[in-house]
Amino acid sequence: MLMAWTLVTGGAKRLGAHLCYALAEQGYSVVVHYNKSEQEAKDVVKKCQEMGVEAAAIQGDFSSNEAILDFTKRYLLKFKETTNLINNVGNYFVRSGLQTPLSDWMALFQINLHAPFILIQKLIPSLLESKGQIINLGVSGLYENPAGIYSTAYRMTKSCLWMLTKSLSVELASKGVRVNMVSPGQTDLSVDLQHQKHKLPMNRPCECREISRVITFLLHPDSVYITGQNIEIAGGS
């Protein structure tokens, strides 16, 4: 019997590491993707294994289509069956739209949008066979999509990822694969928390464990009828 894996991109640090730990606690076999954080990935793998589950790490550069295709080739050779794909990896910077260099603009779309799309395309045969799930990480406010000066490119990538999520959920629903988005607001690891925390209705940021709980809820068999949804974890903001 083949081992069924859950792939967490960007799983070596920050929210990604918390997601891996939460999945391990629920008994999922975890693949920790990393780019440059090899030691951190090894540490996450070790901790997951100490929880009694199978865990492994794999390096992957998502900065170009060719690099992603190389990653998927190596991944599929090593991990024959993937039950769940969690597209967590993503870049972020605070900069107005007109002040964003074209190279940075393109790089942000590459990591935040093109990489998840290519991964889904390449892993879909395995996900179809296992009737698995795809969970994309978004950002709060995509429903209202308010205009803003800063982080223009970032919010555009997440808006596009939300549209991809909705479209794929319809395309794959009859085939047994569910596709959802989880969109945190300010978290306790947000890079701009100091400038935003005074605006938070609950007077505190979202904790990573609260995001992890929503993701494990979506993965649970009791959530089998939930697809095409964007669940915000934003504390009312």
Active-site positions read: 154
d(CA 24, CA 43): 14
Q: Which two tokens stand for residue 229?
A: 């949804």
CA dihedral (200, 206, 62, 162) positive or negative: negative
d(CA 177, CA 175): 6
d(CA 59, CA 124): 20
- Inter-helix orientation angle 115-130/65-78, to 10°: 20
Question: DSSP readout, 24-54?
Answer: HHTT-EEEEEESS-HHHHHHHHHHHHHTTS-
For 137, counting Cβ atoms within 10 Å of its Cβ (0-12 exposed, 13-18 middle, 19+ buried), the class is buried
